[in-house]
Structure 1
Amino acid sequence: MLWSLAGDIRMLLTLPAALAMQVAHPAVGAGVDDHSVFRTDPWGRGERSLTSLQLWVYGGEAAAAEGRRLRALHKTIQGTDAHGRAYHALTPAYYAWVHATGYPVFRHAQQYLGRPFTEAQERALYAEWLQVGRILGIHDRDMPQTIEEFWPYYQKVLDNELEETVVVKELLATDPQLPVPDRGPRWLRLLLRLSWPWLCPRFARVRRFLTIGLMPPDARQAIGLEWTDAQERTLRRLGRVVRAVMPVLPERLRFMPIARRARQAARR
């Protein structure tokens, strides 16, 4: 399941929803607020996160090394959240929640961007997501081991933990102070510098729309995010376009580089 899903460019549309659910947990949000460079280097931070995620699925032996790197990176991330409670990034409940968000977001977004999963596919995807969690150093005792156990756990976190944290508000802001992207060829960077005052607020509105829309409705409600019927209709129209376009694209355009290279190597 993940071999086909994780490297698909449609996944890029789902990442903001998963990130917002992660940082809606006060401990995770505080860790990002205190220690992340998402404000000063959002594009580099996003690129590194995407590369890391791709390695978990397509990296082979590099996947285990990446898991060890991430745990080492998080060892020093600690502090106090907005409620005055101490946190540490490797506290099992917090570390597991960050990983857990991927499953419901994948499942929900698939209803718009692809064909809804069958029950068998949902179970297979969850089993694979657990395996990725083991690569990241998440013990089986810290994650529900079946779908039947997952949903009560998930609902408990929604009911008792999630809120609209400072970081969530920043990620959903429509007037962010985002630096100009500095990736890509020179002509593109120049074009972005010239057009950024016009482009940035429009990018922020699209990001907010996709973040809230591709977030499962129960998580959206738990955080207190508004979503209208008109927005739902727009998202469904967008989904129809995506579903029509994706099958006709060549593989080199449908998959991100790490995934594409791994898929090509597997066919040799």
Structure 2
Amino acid sequence: MDVRWWEAVAVDVDDLRQLLDPSEVRRRLGAAVFDRVAGPGGPATRDRIHLSPGPRWFAADRPVRRVHGDAAMFIGGLRALLLQSLHPVAMAAVAGHSDYRADPWGRLQRTSTFLAVTTFGTASDAAGAVDRVRGIHTRISGTTRDGTPYRADDPHLLEWVHLAEVDSFLHCHQRYGTTRLSPAEQDGYVADTARVAAELGVPDPPTTVAGLAARLAAFRPELRGTPEAREAARFLLLTPPLPAPARVPYAAIAAAAVASLPAWTRLPLRLPLLPVTERTAVRLAGHGITGAIRWLLPPARQSA
């Protein structure tokens, strides 16, 4: 019998053992998820953000670091996009100038990198990221379907985008985060995010949860469902470009995001409202998927 044949079988068995090893499965799956969120250069970017020496905008104990470093951001980010779409002018700007349909993963990677740099990066890198975004905003303008002119650097539109993001990130953290923030820490989170918002051009951003709620309520008369908003919701929830194995986990994220939206948003976006299911099965699925993401993506190392 050919000894070399047995040697080949032994090598294949060893490779199979390695592939089925839980730590190897975790590493491979985690790398695949991180590549989707952060892009091919994600590991190097992560190390540069977290390990570069220098002062930061936010100290290690600030609430913004807890919120933006938690897996609940996956649900909060999708909720924010759905909520933001209800402002017809903001949605027209996205539909007219964003590549979210042609390159949704690229847009996600740019957004996640911006959040990571401004939250965890050095002060100089954070300022540079803000300057780049402001430069992009100055070049975007147009008109809505009904002829209303808009500019991406309009402080009013910037405020709406900021409010929807902060409300979504905080709400989903309180529901699905590892540990909830206390009332004082929630105010601290809103105040932390106000620092970045002010740098981006938002006038007098709110610094407390009560202030955030009041400013959101003031936008209600401007919000409505539009064909562009409903198209974006269908794309984000039903037809995102995903490989087959990722569809079930993404469905859990999508369901949790929809369930976390205020009830008044469902009709304009043509989304279902199922209170009992949302409080039980959907919430359980949301906790399950965020727990799985935490297992796959351990916390990044931090600069001393």
Partner of 2:224: 163
Q: 1:101 to 1:175 in 2, by over 3 A?
A: closer
Partner of 2:85: 23
**2:126 is the counterpart of 1:63:** yes
Which moved further from structure 2: 47-56 or 235-244?
235-244
Cα distance in 2 between the residues matched to 1:10 and 1:168: 23
**Paired letter, 2:210:** E
TM-score by length of 2: 0.68
SS in 2 for 1:87: strand
Cα distance in 2 between the residues matched to 1:118 and 1:94: 30
TM-score by length of 1: 0.76
Q: 1:132 to 1:223 in 2, by over 3 A?
A: same
Computed over aligned residues only, the root mean square deviation of the Cα atoms, in angstroms, reads 2.8
Instruction: Verify the 8 A CA contact 1:175 1:201 in the aligned structure 2.
Output: no
Cα distance in 2 between the residues matched to 1:107 and 1:129: 11
- Report matched runs for 1:207-218 at 5 Å: 208-217=254-263
Deviation, 1:137, is 3.1
Cα distance in 1 between the residues matched to 2:181 and 2:158: 26
Query: Deviation string for 1:225-260 (max 9, x for gaps)?
Result: 33202133222212444676688x4xx8233xxxx2
Q: 1:152 to 1:5 in 2, by over 3 A?
A: closer
Cα distance in 2 between the residues matched to 1:15 and 1:243: 13
Unmatched 5+ stretches in structure 2: 1-62
Which moved further from structure 2: 106-115 or 18-27?
106-115
Which moved further from structure 2: 106-115 or 128-137?
106-115
Deviation, 1:27, is 1.0
Cα distance in 2 between the residues matched to 1:100 and 1:161: 14
**2:159 is the counterpart of 1:96:** yes
Q: 1:10 to 1:208 in 2, by over 3 A?
A: closer
Q: 1:175 to 1:128 in 2, by over 3 A?
A: closer
The structure that has the greater radius of gyration is: 2
Cα distance in 2 between the residues matched to 1:236 and 1:30: 32
**2:273 is the counterpart of 1:230:** no
Cα distance in 2 between the residues matched to 1:239 and 1:112: 9
Instruction: Verify the 8 A CA contact 2:84 2:164 in the aligned structure 1.
Output: yes
| Aligned with residue 124 of structure 1, among 158, 175, 188 | 188
Cα distance in 1 between the residues matched to 2:101 and 2:292: 33
SS in 2 for 1:139: coil
Count of residue pairs the alignment pairs up: 237
Which moved further from structure 2: 122-131 or 78-87?
78-87
**2:135 is the counterpart of 1:72:** yes
Cα distance in 2 between the residues matched to 1:92 and 1:35: 18
- Report matched runs for 1:106-185 at 5 Å: 106-114=169-177, 115-140=179-204, 143-157=205-219, 159-173=220-234, 175-176=238-239, 178-179=240-241
Cα distance in 2 between the residues matched to 1:239 and 1:199: 18
Cα distance in 2 between the residues matched to 1:10 and 1:128: 18
Identity of aligned residues (%): 26
